[in-house]
Structure formats: C-alpha cells, structure tokens
Amino acid sequence: MSTTAGGGPVPGDALLVADVGNSRIKLAVVADPGGAGRLPRVQRRQDFLSRDFRPRNIEQWLAGAAPGPALLLVASVHDAAAARLEAAVAEVSATQHRPLRQRRVARADLPVEVLVDEPHRVGIDRVAAAAAAALVAPAGRGAIVVDCGTATTVDMISPQGCFLGGAILPGPALLARALAEGTSRLPAVAALDHDLPPAMPGRTTQQAIAAGIGWGMRGAVARLVAEARASLGEGAELILTGGSSGVVRDALPGARDMPDLVLLGIAMAAARARGR
C-alpha cells in the first residue's frame, strides 16, 4: 500500500474510503471492515464533482464522518482530483490538529489476481470492483460487473475470483459531449441517467441523440453481458454499479444493484493490510 502519510490501520481509528473517478469523488465511512469471506459495510456516503469540489466540502464531511483520528484509503483514476482531495484532508489535519492519515490503494493491496496482458494499466476502480464482486458471487460461478460512469465497463471475474478483463465504452454523458464537441451543428443533450429514451423515431435532433445514446447504450451493454455469459456460463452473478447505471438497468434483468461496489472493494484493502 503506497502512502501519503505513515502508518497502517490503527485499531480505534475511523476508516474512510475514497473512490476518485473522472467525474465524481465518492467518500464513505467503513462501518464494518469485513474479512474472512465477509463483505465490508459502508455508510455516510457523500459524492462531490471531481473538478469542482472545494476544500470546505471535505472539511464539512469529515466533521460529521470522522471527528476523531482516521485513516483515509484513496483509490484514484484522476490524479489531479486525488491530489486536491489529499491536500484538503492534510490541511484539515494540520489546522485542526487532528490525526488524519492517508494512503493510496494499489492493485497489490486488493485480494484479486489480475490476469490480463498489461495488469499495470487496469484502473484501480475496476480491480476494487472485481475484489468485492468475487466475494459476493456464488461459489464456482464467477461474476460480471457492469459499471456505468464516465466510461462504462463490462468486466469478467472468474469462478476462482480472478479479474479476466472485459470491455470499455464511453458512458452516456461522454457520448453526448463527443457528439456536441465533434460536430458543428449537433447540440449538447443532457445525458439520460434514469428515464427511458424517447421512442423511435426521434422527431427532433435532441430526441434523436437521446434515443441513439439511450437505446444504443442498452443494446451495447446487453450484448457485452451476453458475450461474457457465453464465456463464464449462465450462472455468473451479474452486478450493476456506477452513477449512470439507471441508463441500462431495464436491459439487464436479474442484475444485482450494488452502488457502493468500488467503495467496498477499497475497504477490503484495509482488511487485507490488517491480516498481514
């Protein structure tokens, strides 16, 4: 576990986790660290925009979430946002004379083997999600994780709990922005996070874009899940997470909703460190 402040998990300290993504920072308190085949439990989740959060936001959240000593585990795919978060926490620690330690979570901290050609390039969020998914999947069946965010990923976890790789495609907001920025006349359209797309045919340009993104995302993800099931078997656990999961929810019958999946995986790094 790489460190931004010394020391490992200390009994009695609050344990906090941060999932720093391209669009949002998700923070939570670990109410139960889990262990021995048991998934952690998190509470007091708070989301901030990765680009626009202010140090005051972090200070206010910490005041309620961890008024005493704490360890913050940070898993990040957005280095600039993670650095700003860590600086804000360090400032609170210094100005309020509170022991707030921080650690960056690395792939080696998570109890999952990454079986791909370039394991060092796999996002820590995907590995954390795989670690938690492997723990909840039925024994010997494996899992498929659909994570809909800025990017949408469909990842496969083997029956032995190994990360096998998967597929990556743009999320709905990124698709909408690409159309607006990559063309001269197509307008910006708000991404659909929960509502059904317009019925075909779209009768305005905005409706046509919303239909293309909404129905296209559903079709793409459903097909990728079908391909994953063809490899893993029909018994694989299907898990859905991510801030834009509502876009594809109705296309994935039987999926298990786990909005805190990545945070739970990050929390598993602390349980692993305590066991060393």
- Residue 5 · residue 103 · CB < 8 Å: yes
In terms of CATH, what superfamily is 2-107+269-274?
ATPase, nucleotide binding domain (3.30.420.40)
Residues in the chain, how many?
276
pLDDT on residue 274: 55
Helix (H) or strand (E) holding 32: strand 24-32
Give the residue ranges of the chain where pLDDT is below 70.
Answer: 1-9, 11, 191-195, 272-276
Where residue 233 falls (left for φ over 0; alpha for ψ -120 to 50; beta otherwise) is left
The predicted model scores a pTM of 0.92
DSSP symbol at 84: H
CATH fold match for the domains 2-107+269-274 and 110-264: yes
Q: Rounded to whole angstroms, what are the CA distances from 135 to 8, 66, 68? A: 24, 27, 31
pLDDT on residue 188: 87
- CA 88-89-94 angle, 5° bins: 100
Pairing state between β 14-20 and 70-76: parallel
pLDDT on residue 1: 45
- Residue 265 · residue 129 · CB < 8 Å: yes
pLDDT on residue 120: 94
User: Which residues on neighbouring strands pair with residue 30, listed in sequence order?
Assistant: 42
Domain residues of the chain, as ranges? 2-107+269-274, 110-264
Where residue 239 falls (left for φ over 0; alpha for ψ -120 to 50; beta otherwise) is beta
Helix (H) or strand (E) holding 3: strand 2-3
Q: What whole-number distance in Å separates Cα of residue 265 and Cα of residue 129?
A: 6
Residues marked active site are found at 125
110-264 CATH fold: Nucleotidyltransferase; domain 5 (3.30.420)
